[in-house]
């Protein structure tokens, strides 16, 4: 997603904190400003200071449903949608579109 303009918070893990604004993700101090490019190596990458989580992507999901039921996870008082990765061929495009426009009202989000 970074190739399409997304910013890196951290590779592999983030520190999370719950605030009034939402669930905030930050890079742990012990991690480098870098990302692993599988089959290429460790690449230097600037990291943003923090970001508010908008959703959780379930990379283990193997759903093949065309319109899967919307699931949520609660972290403190905040409800975040869980997006199944399913057919990963269009995942990056779908996530970028979701981040810009969210779900349609018919999804019950």
User: Between residues 83 and 62, which one has the greater pLDDT?
Assistant: 83
Identify the pLDDT of residue 107: 77
Region 65-91 average pLDDT: 90
| C-alpha to C-alpha distance for 84 and 69, rounded to whole angstroms | 10
Q: Specify the pTM.
A: 0.84
Model confidence pLDDT, tens digit, residues 11-43? 989 999 999 999 999 999 999 999 999 999 999
45-77: pLDDT as tens digits: 999 999 999 999 998 887 878 888 889 999 999
Alpha helices in 1-109 (DSSP H): 91-101
- Give residue limits of the domains in the chain: 1-53, 54-103
């Amino acid at each position: 997603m970074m190739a399409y303009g997304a910013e890196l918070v951290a590779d592999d893990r983030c520190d999370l904190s719950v605030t009034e604004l939402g669930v905030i993700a930050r890079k742990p101090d012990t991690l480098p400003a870098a990302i692993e490019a599988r089959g290429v190596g460790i690449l230097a990458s600037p990291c943003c200071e923090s970001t508010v989580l908008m959703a959780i992507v379930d990379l283990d999901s193997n759903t093949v449903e065309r319109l899967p039921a919307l699931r949520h996870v609660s972290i403190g008082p905040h409800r975040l949608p869980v997006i199944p990765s399913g057919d990963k061929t269009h995942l990056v495009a779908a996530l970028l579109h979701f981040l810009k426009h969210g779900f349609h009202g018919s999804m019950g989000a």
